[in-house]
Amino acid sequence: MAKWGHASCFTPAITHGRTNGKNPILFSALLWYISATMNKQGNVYFVGAGPGAADLITVRGANLLSGAELVIYAGSLVDRQLVQTYAGQAQIYDSSGMALTEIITVMLDAVAAGQKVVRLHTGDPSVYGAIQEQMEALDRLGIGYEVVPGVTSAFAAAAALKQELTLPEVSQTIIITRMEGRTPVPEREALRHLATHGATLALYLSVGMIETMVQELLAGGAYTAATPVAVVSRATWPDELIVEGCLADIAGKVQSAGITKQAMILVGDALGAWRQGMKARSLLYDETFSHGCREGTVA
C-alpha cells in the first residue's frame, strides 16, 4: 500500500545529500527507507470494534483479532466479551488503566518478539480515538501499522432510530462534534458557531453537559426550542436506551432516564421526518430522473 506523504517529504533529503555514501543525512535517510520498506505490512493493527454489539465489527477486524497474539483494547468502552469471542488465544491488555508510554512499551515488546498486535478501539478509531499519538510513537520507533475502520456510534445511533441523517431540502450535512470538556475545542468550532448552520449534528462525549449544550445550540440561531433531538445511550448494547424530544425538553428527559455517559446526541430537523412527513424525496429513485444506471420516464 503506497503512502505518498512520508515518502515524498523525505525525498529532498536524499536527492540533496552527497553521493559518496558517507553523508550522515543520506545514511539515516537510507536506514529510514529500509526500515519503512521492511515494515510495510505492519505489525500493529488499529482496529475499530464498532459501537458495542460483537457482530458489528468488520470482517477484516474480526479476522485480525482471530490471528492476534496480543490485544490491547479500550476497556472503558469495548466489551471484553467481544475480545474473548474473536481473540480467545491472545494475551489481552485493557488500556483504560494504562498511560501512552505503557501502551507503546507493550506494543514494542510484542513486535520485537514477532507477535501480531491488535489495538482495539471503540467505534471508528479515527473519531475521538486518540490514535494519532500512538501512530506518532510507532513512526518514531520505525514500527509499521495499519488502521481498520469501524462503525462509529453516530451511525449506530441513527440505525437504532431507523433514521436517515441527510434528507433532501432539510439537511445535506452532518457535523460530528463535542462539547468542550477537559479536552479543549478550538474557539472557531464552539457549538454556538456550528449551530448557525442548522445541519444534522452528532454530538459525542457531551451528554453530561446537555443543559449547556441546549443553550449553546439555541444561541446559534438556526435551531429552535422545537428542533428534534434524540439521545441514544449504549447503542447496540443489550441495555440500549433511546430518549427522544426537542431542544426544549431533552435535558429533563435525559436526566429522568438517568443517562450520564456513553450516549450519542443527534440534533436537527431531519430527525422529525417520520413524525412530520418528508419535505422532499431523493432524486435517486424518482421515476422521471435519469442517471448513469437508469433512463427516467417522461411524465
Ligand X SMILES: C[S@@+](CC[C@H](N)C(=O)[O-])C[C@H]1O[C@@H](n2cnc3c(N)ncnc32)[C@H](O)[C@@H]1O
Using CB atoms within 10 A of its CB, is residue 55 exposed (0-12), middle (13-18) or buried (19+)? Answer: exposed
Q: Which helix (H) or strand (E) holds 91?
A: strand 91-94
Q: What is the dihedral of CA 104, 105, 107, 110, to 10 degrees?
A: 170
**How far apart are CB 278 and ligand X at their closest, in Å?**
26
Site for ligand X in 49-68 (CB under 6 A): 51-52
What's the min distance (Å) between Cβ of 255 and ligand X? 17
The alpha carbons of the chain give a radius of gyration, in whole angstroms, of 24
List binders of ligand X among 275-294 (CB under 6 A). none
Nearer to ligand X, 47 or 138 (CB): 47
Q: Is 232 in the site for ligand X (CB under 6 A)?
A: yes
| Binding letters toward ligand X, positions 164-203, x by CB under 6 A | ----------------------------------------
Quick one: which segment of 28-36, 39-47, 231-239, 266-274 binds ligand X (CB under 6 A)? 231-239
Residue environment code for 9-40, b if the CB has 16+ CB neighbours within 10 A, otherwise e = eeeeeeeebeeeeebeebeebeeeeeebeebe
Sign of CA dihedral 194, 198, 201, 207: positive
Choice between 111 and 121, CB closer to ligand X? 121
| SS3 label, residue 11 | helix
Residue corresponding to grid cell 469495548: 78
Contact segment (CB under 6 A) with ligand X among 26-34, 61-69, 83-91, 115-123 equals 115-123
Binding site for ligand X (CB under 6 A): 51-52, 77, 121-124, 127-129, 152-153, 156-157, 204-205, 232, 234-237, 262-264
